[in-house]
């Protein structure tokens, strides 16, 4: 019998509508030059496919440690940070104690809590998308959750919450996870704090820097915490091809990723400025690789469909934030296509 706990879950949703331009999943539009593809193919062709990969993914771990100035003992690798969210929700505290997170936010915190039968302690962000500290502390004192998640920057809102508020909440819960999936676009981090304490870890991912298809995420934390969580890890959770390709990208070809990330940050500011001057749109500032905006003249759902008709796929988030949609930042020509399509749709409303 499938439990009510699982029956009441909704599966993780993603946009699969086919479209010419896809700006819906916060990926990095990284177009690999032929010589890079060739090198990757060469490396993959050497893999002994009949063998299990290294269960500890040591060579990849070493590359991640070197690339991001960390030590291997402080790293736990996951099949995307999604897998690590599951482990954290399983490992921290007893299941009788809940999990806190401000909403709207990334859906996996709630899905993992619900799958395990843990109470979800959700507190709405304020109108300006900042944390409601008073209400959060009240909910925490009343419900006593064991774990708090913060997406930093937050998805889908794009902002980094105030550091002091995160710290104040962290003082009131036994364990805190700062999910820095979009770190490369904000440059802000809790890594130092995570390394110096037993009650805080940071999550990062390679998904938002051009390697979403490889499924590699990692947790940064104190050695003791890493050792304990490693006991929960499924054996061989990072596939052989992912270990080999991610290592190559982080060593030989990281310059390519850096170039693209810089371009996205520049483009994010341009798209923000363009959206700001459009009538019928309210745009929110972002420190990530996407932008949240509100549709003022047309229901978000309809605007979403109209943009798909123009060949541009973004995400409708009106179920989480009234009237809001989220657009990922792509290549300049993709962003232009989005802006033009949006302008075209809005123009037809004037008539």
Binding site for ligand PMP (CB under 6 A): 26, 80-82, 106, 151, 155, 179, 181, 205, 207, 212, 217
To the nearest whole angstrom, how small is the minimum distance from the Cβ of residue 50 to ligand PMP? 28
Parallel, antiparallel or unpaired: strands 281-283 and 175-179: unpaired
To the nearest whole angstrom, how small is the minimum distance from the Cβ of residue 223 to ligand PMP? 22
> What radius of gyration, in Å, describes the C-alpha atoms of the chain?
21
Residue nearest to ligand PMP (CB): 80
Q: Using the 8-state DSSP alphabet, how is residue 281 labeled?
A: E
Number of neighbours of residue 181 by Cβ within 10 angstroms: 25
CB 201 within 8 A of CB 194: yes
Q: Give CA–CA dist 344/175, Å, rounded.
A: 48
- Alpha-carbon torsion (21, 25, 31, 32), positive or negative: negative
Q: Give CA–CA dist 25/329, Å, rounded.
A: 10
Nearer residue to ligand PMP within complex by CB, 290 or 293? 290
To the nearest whole angstrom, how small is the minimum distance from the Cβ of residue 290 to ligand PMP? 9
Q: Give CA–CA dist 346/270, Å, rounded.
A: 19
To the nearest whole angstrom, how small is the minimum distance from the Cβ of residue 218 to ligand PMP? 9
To the nearest whole angstrom, how small is the minimum distance from the Cβ of residue 279 to ligand PMP? 30
Nearer residue to ligand PMP within complex by CB, 203 or 346? 203
């Amino acid at each position: 019998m499938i439990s009510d706990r699982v029956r009441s879950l909704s599966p993780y949703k993603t946009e699969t509508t086919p479209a010419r331009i896809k700006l819906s999943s916060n990926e990095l539009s990284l177009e690999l030059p032929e010589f890079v593809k060739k090198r990757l193919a060469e490396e993959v062709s050497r893999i002994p496919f009949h063998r299990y990969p290294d269960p500890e993914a040591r060579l990849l771990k070493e590359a991640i440690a070197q690339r991001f100035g960390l030590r291997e003992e402080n790293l736990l690798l996951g099949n995307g940070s999604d897998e690590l969210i599951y482990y954290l929700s399983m490992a921290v505290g007893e299941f009788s104690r809940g999990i806190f997170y401000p909403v709207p936010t990334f859906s996996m915190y709630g899905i993992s809590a619900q799958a395990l039968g843990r109470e979800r302690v959700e507190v709405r962000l304020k109108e300006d998308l900042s944390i409601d500290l008073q209400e959060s502390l009240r909910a925490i004192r009343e419900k006593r959750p064991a774990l708090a998640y913060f997406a930093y920057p937050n998805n889908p809102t794009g902002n980094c919450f105030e550091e002091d508020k995160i710290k104040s909440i962290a003082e009131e819960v036994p364990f805190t996870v700062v999910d820095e999936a979009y770190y490369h676009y904000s440059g802000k981090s809790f890594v130092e704090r995570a390394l110096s304490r037993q009650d805080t870890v940071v999550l990062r991912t390679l998904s938002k820097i051009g390697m979403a298809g490889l499924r590699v995420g990692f947790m940064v934390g104190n050695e003791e915490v890493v050792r304990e969580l490693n006991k929960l890890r499924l054996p061989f959770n990072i596939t052989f091809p992912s270990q080999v390709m991610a290592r190559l990208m982080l060593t030989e070809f990281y310059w390519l990723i850096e170039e693209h990330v810089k371009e996205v940050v520049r483009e994010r500011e341009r798209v923000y400025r363009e959206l700001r001057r459009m009538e019928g749109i309210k745009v929110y500032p972002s420190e990530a690789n996407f932008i949240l905006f509100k549709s003022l003249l047309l229901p978000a759902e309809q605007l979403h469909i109209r943009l798909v008709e123009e060949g541009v796929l973004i995400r409708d988030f009106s179920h989480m934030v009234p009237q809001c949609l989220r657009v990922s930042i792509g290549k300049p020509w993709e962003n232009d296509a989005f802006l033009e399509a949006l302008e075209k749709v809005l123009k037809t409303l004037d008539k």
